[in-house]
Amino acid sequence: MQTATIYSVYMDNIPVEVRTAQRQVVEKFMPTGWRFEQYRSGSYSHPAAMTICLATNTKPLTIFLDIDCIPLSRTALELLGARAEKGVLVGAAQRANHINNGEHLYVGPFCCAFSNRKYLELGSPSFYETARGDVGEELTYRWQAAGAPIYLLWPSLVQQPLWELTQGIKFGMGTTYEDKFYHEFCARATAGNFVRKCEEIIQSEKGKVA
């Protein structure tokens, strides 16, 4: 499998314990040869920071995880890498409920992966918001227009359902996607919950080794 760089963009309002906890989990499950970078956005917007990260990636695959999104196993990251290598846009299902775009579902930039080569083939779609989509949504539109494959991970457990994904399915604070990824969604306000989740995962892995 091709190697990847995992980028996690964060702002200054994210507590250091959140960043530390995420790093411990990601590096625990990261395949050999992969790279992980937590990128401080500073004065840059989230889509601008994502653009910078992609431009500096020397690995063939790019993975984005929000600072409060983590894999729950090694196979989770391997799944993203294996599908991205084949030209698939892969990641967690998302919907921008504040935009009237026909309830369009897309691969959320809080957990997504793609091949840099495929991204270039499709014209390097922007990460910026548009009239028809939120941050990162244009990638899904571009993949769909080209008839390129897309793979969505669906919520399997939601601690606090808040927003509609599709009829009968919601997402919100503390959403688990197909038992592979966990997204807190608002770690700047619920840092303790996210850190505890990370600690549980690390302790569980230690127990397996023992």
Domain with residue 18: its CATH number is 3.90.550
Q: What pLDDT was estimated at residue 48?
A: 98
Q: Give the DSSP per-residue string, 3-72.
A: -EEEEEEE-TTS-HHHHHHHHHHHHHHPPTT-EEEEEE-TTS-HHHHHHHHHHH--SSEEEEE-TTEEES
CB neighbours of residue 12 within 10 Å? 7
Return d(Cα 9, Cα 110) in angstroms, integer: 9
- For residues 10-38, give the mean pLDDT: 97
**Domain region containing 60:** 4-209
Q: What pLDDT was estimated at residue 210?
A: 47
Q: What pLDDT was estimated at residue 168?
A: 92
Q: What pLDDT was estimated at residue 204?
A: 84
Q: What pLDDT was estimated at residue 59?
A: 98
Report the percentage of the chain scoring pLDDT > 70.
98
Q: Rounded to two decimals, what is the model's pTM?
A: 0.96
pLDDT interval class at 209 (50, 70, 90): low
Count up the domains in the chain and report the number.
Answer: 1
The yes-or-no verdict on residue 157 having pLDDT over 70 is yes
Return d(Cα 156, Cα 61) in angstroms, integer: 26
The yes-or-no verdict on residue 148 having pLDDT over 80 is yes
